[in-house]
Amino acid sequence: MRSTLSLRFSRIARTWLALTAWCMGSVSSAWAQVPTSTIAVGAPFAVASAYANGQRFNTSTLDGTVTVAFFWNSNCAVCRDSLPELRANLAGWKTKPFSLLLVNLDRKADDWRAYEKLVGQTQMNAKSLYSVRLDGELPAGARLPLTLLIDSKGKVLKRFEGRLAPEVWDSVADLLP
């Protein structure tokens, strides 16, 4: 006979798995305007995206900086949980040629804009922080969050799916002067 504790743990585990599956399922299955080659390791990084005010984002803005591109969704708890760590590392490297690109994948642009408005009211805007919304979707099977390490020449060096890996920060530190 199972104890109350093991039943409770079992329910928690099932709930966690369901939430994780739901979060990963929030990534749509179509590619739209984001061909695989633009986020593949070894390829030049390029995404079609725009700021909350509608202005187009140009990836040339990142030229000369080591960049962490973080693809996320406001419905993804793991994604939202990673944002403070990303901002803290950006603040720690504010004197270095480092940029943070937050690429939102919410299905509804209004959800992202509401989030951006809240963040704007509670946090200072950093000089090398770019928050944009993707024009398109990630490929089928891609897991959020998706983190890309991009060198100062705009080439994707590493790709991490799921929870933010400590190797991201080790790699950034290795690339910075």
Are the C-beta atoms of 72 and 102 separated by less than 8 Å? yes
Domains of the chain, first to last: 4-175 (3.40.30.10)
Segments of the chain with pLDDT less than 50: 1-37
Angle, in degrees to the nearest 10, between helices 4-25 and 77-92: 70
Q: Most distant CA pair in the chain: distance in Å?
A: 62
- pLDDT score recorded for residue 137: 73
pTM greater than 0.85 (yes/no):
no
- pLDDT score recorded for residue 16: 41
- pLDDT score recorded for residue 39: 74
Sign of the C-alpha dihedral computed for residues 151, 78, 113 and 118 taken in this order: negative
- pLDDT score recorded for residue 124: 65
CA distance 120 to 161: 27
- pLDDT score recorded for residue 139: 66
**pLDDT 10s digits, 93-142:** 999 999 999 999 998 888 888 888 888 776 766 789 999 998 777 766 67
Order of strands across the sheet that contains 129-134? 56-57, 49-50, 129-134, 98-104, 66-72, 146-150, 156-161
- pLDDT score recorded for residue 44: 92
